[in-house]
């Protein structure tokens, strides 16, 4: 399920390692650290830096951008990643060309993009926090580390409906996700670049979220939240640092609050 | 290790620590903060708003380009999107998700529909 996501990152790391003739040890060391962070989705886009940083001094910016785009297109024509990555990588390529090293400014831009894309996790964190109140801090640290869209969406839906053990259910969802993520990451290293172009793996990611989104829409408030969130994120998809995502998310939540009383009135009218 | 390498490692480290802080933020702060009632109510809308903000832009693309960046006018864009394989496949997948609430079934039907539409 996460193969598309992980494949991009690790095809990049793996491809670079091969192209540059890295030793097995070095490739493994990077892959292990990369694997540890792969559980934090979207950090893996930082790996693109590994790719750019490793192109020899002879490569010009166009070749660099071309290589990057073709990898992205073949492995994971993903909206999320290729879009998020392209601007900072282009900036990085330009900066590198000038002085031969990776510019701090380009790195900051990339890290900033990673953090903005992950800002939605602040909302997940706040939304799931009431359920985690009774849990010890060391467990919370582990649970925060394992927080993904899927683990969040599944858990919060279940917690709303049932009295199931919070820690048990959440870890039962999040830990296997983490393991699968790492395994698919390994698969991505090995077969990533050989994924046939006709297979639209990138489409699996929105489908997962769609499967979680549909049951989350249960009344006028949640419908308004989804409508506004989706519309604004779509309109804002050209914004720098992927700001469209948090913008849509925040406005969607506000729309939900506004629509809540409207929904109540509607229900009363219909109920009568 | 070259200078470029250490910058890369620094970026990976910063990105990792930053997203961990983001994920941990309210999980750790919640009981220490006095969360206002309005904010508690707002949290109910997080899944719908965030998931829609992830899904909709990913589906509304034309030839891999987000629709907002294609430069088409609203009417043209709407017409192009209505005929696009991704939108049709996603609509079908949404129907499956509604009736089955099954993630795997949604993926299989959505991917199958996209492949089938592409082969037509």
Whether B103 sits inside 8 A of A211 (CB atoms) is yes
Confidence (pLDDT) at A6: 44
CB neighbours of residue B97 within 10 Å: 24
Backbone angles phi and psi of A23, in degrees to 5: -75, 160
The residue segments making up the domain with residue B16 are 1-33
Contacts of A216 in chain B (CB under 8 A): 47-48, 51
Q: How many angstroms separate the CA atoms of A261 and B31, rounded? A: 28
B7-59 per-position pLDDT tens digit = 667 777 888 888 889 999 999 998 888 888 888 899 999 999 999 999 999 99
* Partners of residue B94 on adjacent β-strands: none
Backbone angles phi and psi of B110, in degrees to 5: -65, -45
Using the Cβ of A235 and the Cβ atoms of chain B, whether some distance falls under 8 Å is answered with: yes
Give B5's pLDDT tier (boundaries 50, 70, 90): low
DSSP code string of A71-130: HHHHH---HHHHHHHHHHHHHHHHHHHHHSS--HHHHHHHHHHHHHHTTHHHHHHHHHGG
- C-alpha angle B63/A77/A13, rounded to 5°? 155
Domain-located, residue B119: no
Q: How many angstroms separate the CA atoms of B45 and A180, rounded? A: 29
3-state secondary structure chain B: CCHHHHHHHHHHHHHHHHHHHHHHHHHHHCCCCCCCHHHHHHHCCHHHHHHHHHHHHHHCEECCEEHHHCCCCHHHHHHHHHCCHHHHHHHHHHHHHHHHCCHHHHHHHHHHHHHHHHHC
Confidence (pLDDT) at A157: 87
Backbone angles phi and psi of A197, in degrees to 5: -65, -25
Give A3's pLDDT tier (boundaries 50, 70, 90): very low
Residue of chain A with shortest Cα separation from B56: A230
Give A255's pLDDT tier (boundaries 50, 70, 90): very high
Domain-located, residue B14: yes
Decide if A177 contacts A148 (C-beta within 8 A). yes
Q: How many angstroms separate the CA atoms of B35 and A1, rounded? A: 36
Decide if A205 contacts B58 (C-beta within 8 A). yes
Separation in Å, CA of B71 to nearest CA in chain A:
11
Decide if A9 contacts A185 (C-beta within 8 A). yes
Q: What share of chain B in percent tops pLDDT 90?
A: 45
CB neighbours of residue A144 within 10 Å: 24
Which residue is associated with the tokens 């395994």?
A183
Whether A50 sits inside 8 A of B8 (CB atoms) is yes
Whether B101 sits inside 8 A of A215 (CB atoms) is yes
Give A222's pLDDT tier (boundaries 50, 70, 90): very high
CB neighbours of residue A196 within 10 Å: 7
A61-85 per-position pLDDT tens digit = 444 444 444 444 333 333 334 334 4
Separation in Å, CA of A150 to nearest CA in chain B:
10
What would the two tokens of residue B28 be?
């750790």
What is the mean pLDDT of the segment spanning A33-51? 46
What is the mean pLDDT of the segment spanning B62-68? 84
Average pLDDT, chain A: 71
| Of A180, A231, A210, A192, residue with least CA distance to A81 | A192
Confidence (pLDDT) at A30: 52
Domain-located, residue B12: yes
* Partners of residue B65 on adjacent β-strands: B62
Confidence (pLDDT) at B70: 84
Domain-located, residue B19: yes
Domain-located, residue B23: yes
Confidence (pLDDT) at B106: 94
Domain-located, residue B18: yes
Q: Which residues contact A190 (CB under 8 A, 6 or more apart)?
A: A14
What is the mean pLDDT of the segment spanning A216-241? 92
Q: Which residue has the higher pLDDT, A34 or A135?
A: A135
Confidence (pLDDT) at B2: 58
Decide if A76 contacts A7 (C-beta within 8 A). yes
What is the mean pLDDT of the segment spanning A3-29? 47
Domain-located, residue B29: yes
What would the two tokens of residue A226 be?
């989804």
Whether A225 sits inside 8 A of B58 (CB atoms) is no
The structural domain count of chain B equals: 1
Residue of chain A with shortest Cα separation from B58: A79
* Partners of residue A100 on adjacent β-strands: none
Average pLDDT, chain B: 87
Give A45's pLDDT tier (boundaries 50, 70, 90): very low
Contacts of B112 in chain A (CB under 8 A): none
B70-89 per-position pLDDT tens digit = 888 888 888 889 889 999 99
Confidence (pLDDT) at A232: 96
* Partner residue opposite B111 with nearest CB, options A83, A200, A236: A200
Task: Examine the predicted complex and report whether its ipTM is higher than 0.95.
Answer: no
What would the two tokens of residue A171 be?
């870890």
Confidence (pLDDT) at A119: 86
A164-205 per-position pLDDT tens digit = 999 999 999 999 888 887 777 667 666 766 777 778 878 888
Domain-located, residue B98: no
CA-only gyration radius of chain A, Å: 21
**Cα-Cα end-to-end distance for chain B:** 52
A interface mutation test: which of B42, B58, B86 has the most A CBs within 10 A?
Answer: B58
Contacts of B61 in chain A (CB under 8 A): 79
Comparing A108-122, A136-150, A161-175, B65-79, which segment has the lowest mean pLDDT? Answer: A108-122
Confidence (pLDDT) at A238: 83
Q: Does pLDDT of A264 surpass 70?
A: yes
In this prediction the pTM is 0.71
């Amino acid at each position: 399920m996460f193969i598309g996501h992980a494949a991009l990152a690790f095809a990049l790391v793996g491809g670079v390692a091969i192209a540059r003739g890295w030793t097995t040890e070095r490739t493994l060391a990077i892959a292990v650290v990369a694997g540890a962070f792969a559980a934090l989705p979207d950090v893996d886009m930082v790996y693109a830096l590994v790719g750019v940083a490793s192109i020899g001094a002879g490569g010009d910016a166009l070749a660099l951008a071309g290589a990057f785009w073709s990898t992205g297109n073949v492995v994971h024509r993903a909206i999320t990643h290729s879009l998020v990555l392209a601007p900072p990588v282009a900036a990085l390529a330009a900066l590198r060309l000038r002085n031969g090293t990776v510019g701090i400014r380009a790195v900051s831009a990339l890290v900033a993009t990673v953090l903005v894309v992950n800002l939605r996790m602040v909302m997940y964190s706040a939304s799931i926090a009431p359920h985690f109140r009774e849990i010890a801090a060391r467990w919370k640290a582990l649970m925060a580390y394992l927080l993904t869209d899927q683990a969040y969406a599944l858990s919060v839906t279940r917690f709303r409906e049932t009295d199931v053990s919070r820690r048990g259910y959440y870890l039962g969802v999040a830990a296997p996700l983490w393991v699968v993520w790492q395994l698919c990451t390994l698969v991505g290293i090995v077969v990533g670049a050989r994924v046939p172009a006709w297979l639209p793996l990138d489409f699996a990611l929105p489908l997962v979220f769609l499967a979680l989104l549909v049951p989350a829409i249960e009344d006028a408030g949640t419908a308004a939240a989804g409508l506004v969130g989706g519309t604004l994120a779509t309109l804002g998809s050209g914004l720098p640092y992927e700001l469209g995502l948090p913008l849509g998310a925040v406005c969607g939540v506000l729309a939900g609050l506004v629509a809540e009383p409207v929904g109540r009135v509607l229900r009363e009218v219909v109920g009568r | 290790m070259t200078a470029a390498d250490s910058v890369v490692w620094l970026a990976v480290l910063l990105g990792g620590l930053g997203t961990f802080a983001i994920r941990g933020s309210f999980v750790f702060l919640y009981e220490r903060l006095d969360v206002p009632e309005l904010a508690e109510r707002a949290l109910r809308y997080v899944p719908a708003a965030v998931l829609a903000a992830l899904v909709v832009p990913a589906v509304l693309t034309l030839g891999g380009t987000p629709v907002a960046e294609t430069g088409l006018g609203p009417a043209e864009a709407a017409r192009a999107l209505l005929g696009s394989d991704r939108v049709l496949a996603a609509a079908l997948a949404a129907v499956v998700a509604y009736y089955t609430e099954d993630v795997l079934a949604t993926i299989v039907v959505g991917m199958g529909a996209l492949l089938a539409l592409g082969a037509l």
